[in-house]
Each structure stands twice: as C-alpha cells, then as structure tokens.
A and B are shown apart, each in its own frame.
Chain A
C-alpha cells in the first residue's frame, strides 16, 4: 500500500495501523465485558451463600408482594412528582433573587443584603427534615389567616426554603465565575450595574452553573420523600403502610426502584450537559 504524496491535501492513516487500533479496541471491550460478568457472578454467589439469604429474599424481594403493591406505589409517587414540579421553579426563583441580593453594592440595599445572607446561613445550616418538621407542625399552629394549613403546602414550602439557600449559593458561585474583565468591558461601554448584570454577567453565570443545578434537582427528587414525615401519602409513606400491613419489606425496594428510574435518566442528562459545557470551555479559549 502506497502513502499519498507528502503535502497533498488529504487525511491519510496507514491502513495497517488502523487495523491494529481496531483490533486493540475490540480486545479491550471483550476484557471489560468478561471482567464485569465475572464480578457479578462472584458477588451473586457470595450473597446467595450467606446463611440469611433465603429470609432476605422472602422479605425484600418477594415477587408476589411486589406485583400487589407496585401500582399503589406508582399512584402515590405522583404526589412526589407534583411536589417536585411545584418546588423546582420556585427554588430557582428564590435562589436567583437571593444570589442577586447578595451582590448588590449600594448602601441603600444593606438590609436586603443582610437578610439574604441570614437566610442562606440559617437554611443551609438546618437539616431539611428539621425545616419540614418546624414549618409543617409549627406554622399551622400559629393559625395564620390566609395561609393553607395543609401538610403538603408546608412541606413543599420547607423544601423550597431549604433548597433555595443551596441554589442561591450555586448561583452566587456562578456569578463569581464570570471573569471581572467582562464586567469592566460592559461598564466601559456605558452599561449600568444592573444592565451589566442582566445582559453580560447573569447569562454567562447561569450557563456555568447548569451542571451543579441539575445535581441539586436530582437530590430534590429524592428529598420529596421527606414530606412523608408530615403525613401526606406519597410513595415512601405508601410503602410504609404496605409493609406494616404485610410485614414484608418488598414495597420499600419498589419505592427505591421508582426513584432510581427517575434519577438515572436525570443523572445521565447532567453528565451530558457537563461534558458539553466542558468541551465548549476548552474550545472557547481566550475570549
């Protein structure tokens, strides 16, 4: 096989080298597969040899129990989905507003800045489940006029407040990740502080924090189950009810599977977004 004349405008790869590269890739794939299968077999054998396995299989992986309870779990899970869909946009709004309040420099906004900082400090410091307890049981006791007393309402509010504090910090980090020379360039064109934020800093900041935000969303999907402590029958609560009537824990496994079914696609999506933005940053270079 003859190589083309040097200097001609073609991309040329030696066919022998190409064949070798392919061969090596095939070999690596086979080794990976074999290793994975071997690993699974070894783990299965070890687990099934443990003295307690038949009992565990009966109480956690009972097919009959699974078939019976799973539809009910799915129904209950719709409440988790609703809580998530309502909380998520509110969290984004709270997070962004708080992050913005913390960047205000004018002395007149000092109260806002102090409030925003206090909010983040307090709600990041309290475990989410405790916020849910305090709001869910405490606020309805105040008998505030005009507020619903439902557990779902206060549970969702607690999630929004707790996650809002985290997301505010994510946004603030995003704002900090935009190079100061961008602000300088915007100000030098006569844009005001607000215009600089709105048109130059924030769009870049939001883009930079999409991967960590998705990460927080995945976490929120799971934490909707915490609202169960207030009583609403969402998926975890439903599983609890099922297990206490049959003394079989298979519904917990069913609930876990439902959560996983939702978070895995979200995780892969987050990975993809992260990979893409990393690629862009590499290509962006010195702008």
Chain B
C-alpha cells in the first residue's frame, strides 16, 4: 500500500484554448475525506472528470494508490474506472432499468458476478441506504434525493477504492439535501476514501479531513476545516467564504 490513495501532480487541462486546470497538485491519503470548494468554473468538476478518466489531461500525472497511472496512454481505463466511483450532479440513472438493475448491472457485466449474486448484493446495499422499498421502481418514480442515493449505491456496488462526488446536492430541492449528505457521512464513517466537490460548507466543515480551495485551476489554499473556515491565510479564500457564507 502506498502512502497516498491519489496523487495529482501538475495537471493542466484546457477546453478549446480556455484553460481550466493550470498545473494543479493534490494528494489524498487513505481513508481521507477531501472536500473541494471554490467558485463555479474554478476547475472542481474538470478535476474529478480527469481523475475518472472521462476527460484526458493535457499535461501532468494522476496516480492511484502509488501504482496505477491514470494519465498514461497504456492504462486500461475501463479497469481503472472500476476502482474509482463517481456520482454526478444530475444522477444519470439509467431510465429504462429498475433501481435494482441500475445497481446490479455493472457488477454483473464488469466484475462477472452471477445474476443472483449481484442482485442479492444490490438489495443489501439498497437496504443499507434505506432504499429497499424502491428496488423495483423505475427512476422516474423517485424523488431527487432518492435518485441521488441510488446513484451513490450504484457507484458503491462496484466496491471502489475511491469515490468522487461532483456537487451531488446542487440539483436537489433544499429539503432533500439532508438525506443525501447523510449517505455520504455514512460512507465516510465506513472508511472509504472520498473526494467531494460541494457548495455545502456546513457539511464540508463537519466531515472533511482536508478542505482545498480551488481558484483559477490550482489549489490556492488547503488545510483542515478549522483552519480554512476559521483562519484562512489567503485573501481570496476569505473573500470566497464571505460570499458563500453570506
């Protein structure tokens, strides 16, 4: 086991000449929960997509558990993605499948589990997040909070080593944010390594081991939640926090 779960070093990424990441460095330790904060366009989503290999970096390296270089052209990205789960802002559940099949599909097709095994595991996971009653529903019958919890369960069913959350509560009715954050809190307590982009500052303060403030495509300031939220060193961090905390 290497010292860190994920090492991001000097990652650059631009879209049609517009720079989004500009040599970003970030390290996540095993079982750590790291929260990314920053204004829209600061590069949070792009960073998460680079880590999952959904977007190719222009320069730099991203190494998982000290051994798997996600940015290498020789890496089997399908294999890499098995080890890294991601949950999106807009759930992206498969609308033509029941909740149960949404969760059981990848373990069956990618990990080669038997149908019975994958279904049993999916039911157990759904039950763990209070969704057992929804197993046979289709996604269009779910509330936003339920849909997002199913998306978390779906990613979790692949037993990833690292989970990425891309502003998973931003599309939700404020009344439904709590149940989704509760699910993330439970993952944190179970010891999974998490990287989360969020605007929920209260939640970041509560669960994060480390908070990173992104601005203009780099981590401008990082530290424990106490330091970042109570005694930020950089003027930009103070300004951002003053704006979002009102």
Segment with Cβ contacts to A, from B12-20, B84-92, B218-226, B230-238: B84-92
Also in contact, A190 and B94, with CB within 8 A (given A284-B140, A287-B139): no
| Contact-residue size bin, chain A (C-beta under 8 Å from the other chain) | 20 to 34
Whole-angstrom CA separation of A181 from B90 in the bound complex: 9
Task: Please give, as numbers and ranges, the residues of chain A lying within 8 Å of B105 by CB-CB distance.
Answer: 189, 191, 199
Asked if B158 is at the interface (CB within 8 A of a chain A CB), the reply is yes
Does B202 sit within 8 A of A, measured CB to CB?
no
Chain B 142-166 residues near chain A, CB threshold 8 A: 144, 147, 154-155, 158
List the A side residues contacting B82 at CB < 8 Å.
190
Write out the residue numbers on chain A whose beta carbons fall within 8 Å of the beta carbon of B109.
Answer: 191, 195, 199
A154-192 to B contact mask, C-beta < 8 Å, 1/0: 000000000000000000000000000110111111111
A188 and B54 contact, CB distance less than 8 A? yes
Q: A182-B94, A195-B109, A287-B147 given as contacts; is B140 within 8 A of A188 (CB)?
A: no
- Cβ contact within 8 Å between A190 and B106: yes
CA A185 – CA B97 in complex, angstroms? 14
Nearest chain B residue, comparing its CB with the CB of A283 = B140
Instruction: State the Cβ distance, B44 to closest chain A Cβ, in Å.
Output: 16
B93 touches A (CB below 8 Å): yes
The residue that B154 contacts in the complex, of A181, A189, A195, A280, with Cβ under 8 A, is: A189
Please pick, from A187, A188, A195, A284, the residue contacting B95 in the complex, using a CB distance under 8 A: A284
In the complex, whether A54 has a CB less than 8 A from a CB of chain B is no
Q: For the complex, count residues of B whose C-beta is within 8 A of A.
A: 28
| Given contacts A204-B95, A204-B96, A207-B96, A185 and B78 within 8 Å (CB-CB) | no
User: Which residues between 40 and 58 of chain B lie within 8 Å of chain A, taking CB atoms?
Assistant: 52, 54
B93 touches A184 (CB 8 A): no
Asked if B79 lies at the interface with its beta carbon under 8 angstroms from chain A, I say yes
A203 proximal to B (CB < 8 A):
yes
A188-217, CB < 8 A from B: 188-192, 195, 199-200, 203-204, 207
Interface check B59, CB cutoff 8 A: no
Say yes or no for A125: interface residue by CB 8 A criterion.
no
Q: Are B96 and A189 in contact (CB under 8 A)?
A: no
Across the interface, name the chain B residue whose C-beta is closest to A180: B92
Question: Which residues in window 264-287 of A have CB below 8 A to B?
Answer: 280, 283-287
Q: Is the CB of A187 within 8 A of B81?
A: yes
Q: Are B140 and A285 in contact (CB under 8 A)?
A: yes
Residues of A contacting B: mostly: helix
Check A188–B52 contact: CB distance below 8 A: yes
A184 with B154: CB separation less than 8 A = no
Q: How far is the CB of B155 from chain A (nearest CB, A)?
A: 7
Chain A, residue nearest B107 (CB): A189
- Whether B110 sits at the interface, judged by CB under 8 Å, is yes
Contact with B along A212-255 (1 / 0, CB 8 A): 00000000000000000000000000000000000000000000
CB distance from A191 to the nearest CB of B (A): 6
Instruction: Return chain A residues, CB-CB under 8 Å to B106.
Output: 189-191
Contacts of A185 in B (CB 8 A): 88, 92-94
What are the residues of chain A within 8 A of B86 when measuring CB–CB? 188
A81 to chain B, nearest CB (A): 33
Report yes or no: B78 in contact with A200, Cβ–Cβ below 8 A.
Answer: no
State the 7 A-B residue pairs at the shortest beta-carbon distance, nearest first. Answer: A185-B92, A189-B106, A190-B82, A190-B110, A287-B95, A287-B139, A190-B81
* A-B pairs with beta carbons under 8 Å apart, 28 shown: A184-B54, A184-B92, A185-B93, A185-B94, A186-B94, A187-B54, A188-B81, A188-B155, A189-B105, A189-B110, A189-B155, A190-B78, A190-B79, A190-B82, A190-B158, A195-B110, A200-B94, A204-B95, A207-B96, A280-B140, A283-B140, A284-B95, A284-B140, A285-B140, A286-B171, A287-B91, A287-B95, A287-B147
A→B interface (CB under 8 Å): 181-182, 184-192, 195, 199-200, 203-204, 207, 280, 283-287
